[in-house]
Amino acid sequence: MKSTVTKSIVITGVSTGIGHGTAVELCRRGFRVFGSVRTDEQAARLQRELGTAFTPLLFDVTDADAIGRAVATVRGEVGDGGLFGLVNNAGIANPGPLTSVSPDVLRRHFEVNVVSVLHMVQAFLPLLRGTKEGRPGRIVNISSVSGRIAYPFMGPYAASKHALEALSDSLRRELMIYGVDVIVIQPGSVDTPIWDKAAHLNTTFDGTDYHPVLKHMNLSDARHTALPVSAVTRRIVDALVVKRPKARYVVPDQRVRYWLLPRWLPDRWLDRAIDRLLNFQKIRDDINRS
């Protein structure tokens, strides 16, 4: 007799963007979704939107004690059914030149984008190691093309995503003893509210040598060419449900320009291309005249 056990998945950062789109799609497909939010208002809104298929979990991913309470809640709901998947989506991106950003900004990126993932994996692993249906759960980590290619002014974000890539590789190889797979999703630019949070780039660094470049950067133009959230959620669903998922799913917004060419070109060639693109020669000239 076929089991009717509902498959349960935990997703971090479901209030907006990729996390929200993934929660919506998985609920639509009949999964039970537990999603992390940080406010009661977000929890109530998502509960109204998604109905009984969704259970909000109120915690910040950097709060290990709160994660522990969330595990207890999920365990009480799923019982012996365990978890079908864990999607580590929550993250931050705070751009700026590395010569000027506070070290606390870099530290915060690692705390949210890397250390919190380890907290989540360690806490939820007992629920992922096996289900009534026999298949261990899967872990899906949302990285970025910045996890392989580091562009100017994205240093803290790119560094944290490079670290997440390494963390994911080590986890995937270590967790083979339990049959728990770890899959990485590497999106390019995606049309999410994270662009609004990066709008400070044009003004925050007015006093730096990079101001002549930064003041002309129009983030809204980049957002117009960004991928829809649905392009990423499709890959997340694939990572969770296909029989033999890839270790990585790359979802670049412009495959040749932002993925293939930067990885094919020698590093120094790419450096020179970026130098010309951002007109760094003007900055050098201004520095030499001062």
Active-site annotation holder among 151, 157, 178, 258: 157
**CA 151 → CA 168, 171, 220, distances in Å?**
22, 26, 18
Distance CA 182, CA 79 (A): 23
Q: Which residue has the tokens 């999607």?
A: 87
Residue in 87, 38, 93 with CA at minimum distance from that of residue 223? 93
Joined tokens for residue 95: 């751009």
The residues with which 190 forms a beta bridge, in sequence order, are 227
Distance CA 46, CA 42 (A): 6
Q: Are 9 and 34 in contact (CB under 8 A)?
A: yes
Joined tokens for residue 222: 């980049």
Joined tokens for residue 24: 């919506």
Half-sphere CA count of 110, side-chain side, radius 13 A: 10
Distance CA 220, CA 271 (A): 25
Distance CA 149, CA 15 (A): 28
Within the chain, strands assigned E span 8-11, 32-37, 54-58, 85-88, 138-142, 181-187, 248-251
The reply to whether 157 belongs to the active site is yes
Backbone angles phi, psi at 249, to 5 degrees: -120, 115
Q: Known catalytic residues?
A: 157
